[in-house]
């Protein structure tokens, strides 16, 4: 497979996953705003902070009002990571490899992008049916993955798609967890209060994890929530699950053996996965949640860079 084809498939899925995750935490924040006490202001700045686009946002907007943040993260063409721009780039990547992917995948991306573009034309995300807009974005992304998994042979293309989606998902789950740091700093008078637990519940919902967490642990507990979102090996949006599955696709592509490495991508992925496999919530409590997630994101960036160097920097990956 040509490296340019592999890279397009990889980024196609990363952009779809990014758009879905943005839709997730915007939608959850809208619902959280309705549940907050009357004397507690809505908080929209954390959404921008967790995306890493604060400097860009403040270049074009003053203050962090609801409508401005929603516009920036959803439809702003000046924000390359807005939902609209992510879907546009996913569509362009899919267009360049149409002959290499099932037709249904291309049709779903194209349909989702055109629907969002038409909705933006009529300013839908600012209207009363805003919740339905984000629900359809999430559903459209999930339908894309369903079509992919039902129609795409488990060969190189599928594994590059899977690798891209899972790395993006792990990154966004980490950012969702880190969002709690920006929502409410852990002071003695706030930790464990109903407001604190309400926000943790919102974060579980952002990751689509609320129901599975309750089945796994039952009652809400901060350490258990952190443990579930980071270290769970069966929940498909937990960080460890994502990276273990991504590592499987990576080693299928390289033909590498477990517990060994033959290139930078395998080495960096193995280092991150092994650290997570032997980690726990107590370690994070000692280290600091924000500091731990910040360090993890740096490590994940190293994995992404190693994947680029291993597969995409060369002219061809395989004959």
Q: Give 152-182 pLDDT, tens digit per residue.
A: 999 999 999 999 999 999 999 998 888 776 6
Q: Say if residue 159 is in the same domain as residue 18.
A: no
| Of the candidates 9, 1, 14, 5, the residue with the CA atom closest to the CA atom of residue 254 | 1
Q: Say if residue 183 is in the same domain as residue 273.
A: yes
Q: Say if residue 127 is in the same domain as residue 162.
A: no
- How high is the pLDDT of residue 39? 61
Q: Which of 128, 152, 176 is the C-terminal boundary of a domain?
A: 152
Indicate the SS3 state at residue 49.
Answer: helix
Q: Using 50 as the pLDDT threshold, list the residues of the chain that sit under it.
A: 185-186, 315-319
Q: Say if residue 236 is in the same domain as residue 269.
A: yes
Residue 165 in tokens = 């989606």
Q: Say if residue 16 is in the same domain as residue 107.
A: yes
Domain count, the chain: 2
Q: Say if residue 53 is in the same domain as residue 132.
A: yes
- How high is the pLDDT of residue 207? 85
Q: Say if residue 176 is in the same domain as residue 28.
A: no
- How high is the pLDDT of residue 316? 45
| Of the candidates 239, 197, 196, the residue with the CA atom closest to the CA atom of residue 214 | 197
Q: Say if residue 205 is in the same domain as residue 133.
A: no
The span from the CA of 151 to the CA of 290, in Å, is 40
> Do 142 and 17 touch, CB atoms closer than 8 A?
no
The span from the CA of 205 to the CA of 242, in Å, is 18
Q: Which of 133, 152, 171 is the C-terminal boundary of a domain?
A: 152
> Do 254 and 266 touch, CB atoms closer than 8 A?
yes
- How high is the pLDDT of residue 38? 62
- How high is the pLDDT of residue 37? 61
User: At residue 316, what are phi and psi to the nearest 5 degrees?
Assistant: -140, 145
| Of the candidates 313, 242, 309, 243, the residue with the CA atom closest to the CA atom of residue 273 | 243
Q: Say if residue 35 is in the same domain as residue 179.
A: no
- How high is the pLDDT of residue 70? 92
The span from the CA of 136 to the CA of 140, in Å, is 6
Q: Say if residue 230 is in the same domain as residue 286.
A: yes
Token match 């629900």: residue?
135
The span from the CA of 262 to the CA of 267, in Å, is 7
- How high is the pLDDT of residue 219? 87
pTM, two decimal places: 0.90
> Do 32 and 54 touch, CB atoms closer than 8 A?
no
Residue 254 belongs to domain spanning = 154-319
Q: Say if residue 13 is in the same domain as residue 124.
A: yes
- How high is the pLDDT of residue 233? 96
> What CA–CA distances, in Å, run from 178 to 49, 50, 195, 292?
10, 7, 17, 9
The span from the CA of 19 to the CA of 120, in Å, is 15
Q: Say if residue 184 is in the same domain as residue 126.
A: no
- How high is the pLDDT of residue 83? 96
The span from the CA of 299 to the CA of 59, in Å, is 29
Side-chain half-sphere CA neighbours of 182 within 13 A: 19
- The enclosing H or E element of 6 equals helix 3-35
Angle, helix 156-183 to helix 222-231, in steps of 10 degrees: 160
The span from the CA of 163 to the CA of 235, in Å, is 17
- How high is the pLDDT of residue 131? 82
C-alpha dihedral sign at 28, 234, 94, 149? negative
> Do 177 and 183 touch, CB atoms closer than 8 A?
no
The span from the CA of 207 to the CA of 223, in Å, is 16
- How high is the pLDDT of residue 78? 95
> Do 87 and 113 touch, CB atoms closer than 8 A?
yes
Q: Which of 127, 152, 177 is the C-terminal boundary of a domain?
A: 152
């Amino acid at each position: 497979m040509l490296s340019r084809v592999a890279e397009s498939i990889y980024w196609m899925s990363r952009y779809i996953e990014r758009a879905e995750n943005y839709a997730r935490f915007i939608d959850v924040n809208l619902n959280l705003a309705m549940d907050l006490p009357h004397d507690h202001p809505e908080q929209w700045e954390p959404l921008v902070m967790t995306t890493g686009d604060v400097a860009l946002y403040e270049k074009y907007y003053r203050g962090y009002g609801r409508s401005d943040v929603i516009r920036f993260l959803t439809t702003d063409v000046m924000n390359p990571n807005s939902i609209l721009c992510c879907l546009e780039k996913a569509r362009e990547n899919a267009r360049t490899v149409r002959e290499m992917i099932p037709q249904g995948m291309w049709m779903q991306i194209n349909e989702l992008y055109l629907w969002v573009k038409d909705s933006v034309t009529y300013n839908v995300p600012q209207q009363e049916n805003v919740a339905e807009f984000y629900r359809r974005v999430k559903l459209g992304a999930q339908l894309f993955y369903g079509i992919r998994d039902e129609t795409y042979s488990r060969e190189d293309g599928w594994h590059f798609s899977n690798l891209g989606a899972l790395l993006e998902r792990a990154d966004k789950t980490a950012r969702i967890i880190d969002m709690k740091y920006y929502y409410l700093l852990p002071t003695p008078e706030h930790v464990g209060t109903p407001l604190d637990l309400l926000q943790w519940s919102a974060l579980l919902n952002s990751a689509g994890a609320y129901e599975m967490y309750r089945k796994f642990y039952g009652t809400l507990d901060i350490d258990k929530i952190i443990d579930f979102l980071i270290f769970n090996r069966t929940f498909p949006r937990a960080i460890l699950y994502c990276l273990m599955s991504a590592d499987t696709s990576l080693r299928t592509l390289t033909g590498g053996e477990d517990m060994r490495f033959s290139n930078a991508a395998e080495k960096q992925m193995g280092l991150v996965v092994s650290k997570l496999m032997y980690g726990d919530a107590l370690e994070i409590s000692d280290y600091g949640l924000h500091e731990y997630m910040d360090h993890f994101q740096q490590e994940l960036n190293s994995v992404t860079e190693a994947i680029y160097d291993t597969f995409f920097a060369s002219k061809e990956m395989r004959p």
